[in-house]
């Protein structure tokens, strides 16, 4: 555990100067921030201290319907899927520029929502979002089919078209990274979308919606509905006017998503589901290196990652020495306030679903 710093007067040092003002807490539908239809809100919790950070609009089925309507209108009649790919690419590149201009605020939002290390957000998560956008911006004008000569008389060709309206359900462990891993390729292809961030970590997604509009993304292309899995999430997976759903979360809920997609309009489904990743250590290994790798494998991102090394198999003859070294390194690992530059691990993401039992049950299952 990292030692707490004190200021010149001996008082415990805090890092609240890094905490940004919360600017966006409403749903983002058709280019505007709006209250939910029912006017409900839910609390987001700062995992550093358990205090309420903000009250965010709680979207429900009616709000998803409005967001899908906006996305469908933007896809069927709007400019986004009809403009040349290079024009979409220019807007996406501008989006990336705006992300970099707001890097401190965006990294801080993920810190107070997810407990992520502030310096890591600035060095990795937020720059990666901009990189992801620029990568797919470069691909936007290179999406094309092929012409094949089948025989002397026949030619065949393939035509690649955007899927349509896509529903993205984002997990809480990488709120920024997963947002853009889903949104950026869909934007490049000319799709429109409804995004539901995890209820634990909604703040950066709403800020990204603001930046998208500022970058010139047409209204209705990106809609963000904050809320819970059994209501907003379920409405997305079963919606008859969504053409594809993209979900990251647990295997159990992945099955629910597939079932909802199949029993509604047989929409396309993309799933990234949880895993259990073992590490195997043999007696010819360098134990200092092996214990370093085993430790970082479970503490990276606080262990809140699908590839966390949550099981370690150690050959019998080196078990005791390996355990001794690993325990010593774990005890020395600096844990504390994620804004502290000396800290390597912040608090776990907090559940903010105690308001009622049903969302808590789905949250436990991993329904982001």
On the 0-12 / 13-18 / 19+ scale of CB atoms within 10 A, 16 is: exposed
Asked if residue 193 lies in contact with residue 353, where contact means CB atoms within 8 angstroms, the answer is: no
Helix 126-139 vs helix 175-189: crossing angle, to nearest 10: 10
> What is the rounded distance in angstroms from the CA atom of residue 25 to the CA atom of residue 174?
19
Catalytic residue (choose from 5, 43, 252, 272): 272
Nearest Cα neighbor of 190 from 270, 63, 91 is: 91
Asked if residue 222 lies in contact with residue 209, where contact means CB atoms within 8 angstroms, the answer is: yes
C-alpha Rg value of the chain to the nearest Å: 23
Does the annotation count 272 as an active-site position? yes
The half-sphere exposure of 14 on its side-chain side, counting CA atoms within 13 A, is: 6
Asked if residue 283 lies in contact with residue 317, where contact means CB atoms within 8 angstroms, the answer is: yes
The set of catalytic residues is 272
């Amino acid at each position: 555990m990292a030692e707490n710093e004190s200021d010149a007067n001996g008082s415990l040092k805090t890092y609240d100067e890094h905490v940004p003002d919360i600017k966006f807490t409403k749903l983002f539908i058709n280019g505007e921030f709006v209250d939910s239809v029912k006017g409900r809100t839910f609390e987001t919790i700062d995992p550093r201290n358990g205090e309420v950070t903000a009250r965010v609009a709680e979207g429900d089925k009616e709000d998803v319907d409005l967001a899908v309507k906006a996305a469908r209108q933007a896809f069927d009649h709007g400019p986004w899927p009809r403009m040349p790919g290079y024009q979409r690419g220019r807007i996406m590149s501008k989006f990336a520029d705006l992300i970099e201009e707001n890097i401190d605020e965006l990294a801080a939002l993920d810190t107070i929502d997810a407990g992520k290390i502030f310096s890591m957000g600035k060095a990795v998560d937020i720059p990666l979002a901009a990189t992801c956008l620029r990568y797919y911006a470069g691909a936007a004008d290179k999406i094309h089919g092929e012409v094949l000569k089948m025989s002397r008389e026949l030619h065949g060709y393939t035509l690649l078209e955007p899927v349509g309206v896509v529903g993205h359900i984002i997990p809480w462990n990488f709120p920024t990274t997963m947002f853009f891993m889903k949104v950026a390729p869909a934007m490049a292809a000319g799709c429109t979308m409804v995004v539901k961030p995890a209820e634990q970590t909604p703040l950066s997604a709403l800020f990204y919606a603001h930046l998208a509009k500022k970058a010139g993304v047409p209204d209705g292309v990106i809609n963000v509905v904050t809320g819970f899995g059994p209501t907003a999430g379920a409405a997305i997976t079963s919606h008859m006017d969504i053409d594809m759903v993209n979900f990251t979360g647990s295997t159990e809920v992945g099955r629910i998503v597939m079932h909802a997609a199949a029993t509604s309009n047989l929409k396309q489904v993309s799933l990234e589901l949880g895993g259990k990743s073992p590490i195997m250590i043999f007696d010819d290994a360098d134990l200092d290196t092996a214990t370093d790798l085993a430790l970082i494998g479970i503490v990276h991102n606080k262990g809140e990652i699908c590839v966390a090394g949550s099981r370690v198999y150690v050959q019998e003859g080196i078990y005791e020495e390996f355990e001794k070294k690993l325990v010593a390194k774990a005890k020395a690992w600096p844990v504390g306030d994620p804004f502290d530059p000396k800290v390597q691990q912040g608090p776990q993401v907090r559940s903010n679903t105690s308001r009622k039992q049903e969302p808590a049950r789905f949250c436990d299952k991993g329904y982001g």
